[in-house]
Amino acid sequence: MDTSLLNALPSLVIGLADLAAAFLFMYGLHRMASPVTASSGIFVAGVGMAVAVLSSFLVAFDVSSTAQPHLMVNIALALVALALGGGVAWWSGRTVAMTSMPQMVALYNGMGGGAAGAIAAVELFGGKAQGPTTLTVTLLGAVIGAVSLSGSLIAWAKLDGVINKPLRFKGQQIVNGLVLIATGAVGAAIVLAGVGLPVLALTQPQAITLFFACALALGVLMTLPIGGADMPVVISIFNAFTGLAVALEGFVLQNPALMIAGMVVGAAGMLLTLLMAKAMNRSVSNVVFTNFGEAAKHKQGKIKGELKPMQPGDAGIAMRYATSVIIVPGYGLAVAQGQGKLFEFVKLLQAGGVSVKFAVHPVAGRMPGQMDVLLAEAGVPYDMIFQLEDINDDFKTTDVALVIGANDVVNPAARTDKSSPIFGMPILDADQAKQVLVVKRGEGKGYAGIVNSLFYGDNCHMVYGDAQAVLVQMIEAVRGLGLPAAA
């Protein structure tokens, strides 16, 4: 056999593997567009990632590659790293609570940005990034990846309660701007030094270290002042950042799979960010550069009406005798882990001939799609779950709207109070149902820091208590009626 053909074989296999991985990424993402096929889509994309990882190992045996002499590949160390990372990911994925899912997503997203930044660091410190174009692209990937890493870690800390309050100080945006300018200036100096025009009294390694320090600080400073209400959008922004960083470093490494995967993730993350910002009636810049909810502290007037408590058993019986019920799940349902009992109660209502639907707001919970996943985990059929734009008109003709642990996403102030920080935000029109039942542990405010006028409405009753405990009492009350199930 021709020796040159044999030597070129690894390169050919690598190219085909990268092409296959890219196809699997895109096909998997396509299947994730529907709840029915999302599970298989995740599996397909996972296979694509496995192919991409195996392809990277083949590079070590590609003697035809010009990069081969510079690849100090330690196969054993790489396998150990894969085993440790895969083991931790499998264990954490199996054991994470639904309420902790946003924190895990933030951490894993940060790891992706950190990986892109690490690739850039290897290229920069090793002197492999040569020429102004390659240096510039490498530095762009480095700064975006570093910001995603440190920002995602702060987002995790906020979601997990490690950081309980936004950290804000006078002139904060000016400080952030100066750090951004410093990062760009050091990056420009590194590019100039790379083409023989040193402008800093620092060695190249020192300049690169300073560059990464500025980029990491920028991620922290950007995220610290942002409130908990905006964390879903922030996570989505950093997801887009991670994808973009991976795509840029894929260009530096001339790896098609990385470029395509990064562009797909970046585009999907940015699209999701824009959709979520629209669902909150806010721009992305408004999320990043303003203090959401502060205006409510001094502008909200006294709300007319009074809170009217109702016992869980009475609320359950009221729904059993209703013709139609729409359920609005919120983060409180996830905290109580009451999704299983909720669906058990729903099946009792359906057996009695009650029409039941679920209404999900795009930003309900602490991360995109959290309520959909929560309901799917309990076995709720996909055709019972409706998004805001598909179900809002149905509230007017619904007998009972059951709100469990949601707050701002059902607050009528978004339609009526121009001084409210959530004015103009699309909400679920639960207040327009004939009767509204709200399950809450207390009278606390939502993320926006305002009292919900829905709770004081003439047609609204409050059912106080932990969601799961309340649902258990509702189930017992309905079963206690001894009514025959519908045929």
The pLDDT value recorded for residue 486 is: 45
Q: What's the whole-number average pLDDT of the chain?
A: 84
The pLDDT value recorded for residue 296 is: 43
| Other CB atoms within 10 A of residue 479 CB | 12
Alpha-carbon gap, residue 278 to 239, rounded angstroms: 18
Please identify which residue in the block is written with the tokens 């950042």. Answer: 241
% of the chain beyond a pLDDT of 70:
89
Q: Evaluate if residue 8 carries a pLDDT over 70.
A: no
Tokens of 51: 């192919």
Residue 381's Cβ-side half-sphere holds a number of Cα atoms within 13 Å equal to 7
395-411 mean pLDDT: 92
Positive or negative: CA dihedral 46, 47, 49, 53 = positive
pLDDT digits (tens, 9 = 90+) for 131-140: 888 899 999 9
The CATH code belonging to domain 301-480 is: 3.40.50.1220
Q: Are strands 324-329 and 385-387 parallel, antiparallel or unpaired?
A: unpaired
Tokens of 300: 């909200």
Which phi and psi (to 5°) does residue 424 adopt? Answer: 90, -10
pLDDT digits (tens, 9 = 90+) for 219-273: 999 888 887 667 778 888 898 999 999 999 888 888 887 888 888 888 888 888 8
Domain with CATH 3.40.50.1220 in the chain: 301-480
pLDDT digits (tens, 9 = 90+) for 313-327: 999 999 999 999 999
410-439 mean pLDDT: 88
Tokens of 409: 């996403």
pLDDT digits (tens, 9 = 90+) for 275-299: 877 777 777 777 776 654 444 444 5
- Residues marked active site are found at 408
Cβ atoms 461, 310 nearer than 8 A: yes
Positive or negative: CA dihedral 367, 228, 269, 215 = negative
pLDDT digits (tens, 9 = 90+) for 345-378: 999 999 989 999 999 988 887 777 788 888 888 8
Q: Which residues, other chains included, contact 336 with Cβ-Cβ below 8 Å and sequence gap of 6+?
A: 405, 466, 467, 468, 469
% of the chain beyond a pLDDT of 90:
35
Residue 358, helix vs strand vs coil: strand
Cβ atoms 328, 401 nearer than 8 A: yes
Alpha-carbon gap, residue 218 to 158, rounded angstroms: 17
Please identify which residue in the block is written with the tokens 């009294």. Answer: 201
The radius of gyration computed from the CA coordinates of the chain, to the nearest angstrom, equals 26
Alpha-carbon gap, residue 61 to 228, rounded angstroms: 48
Alpha-carbon gap, residue 211 to 192, rounded angstroms: 14
Per the DSSP assignment, residues forming a β-bridge with 461 are 437
469: enclosing H helix or E strand: helix 467-480
399-434 in b/e form (b: 16+ CB < 10 A) is bbbbbbbbbbbbbbbbeebeebbbeebbbbbbbbbe
Q: Evaluate if residue 70 carries a pLDDT over 60.
A: no
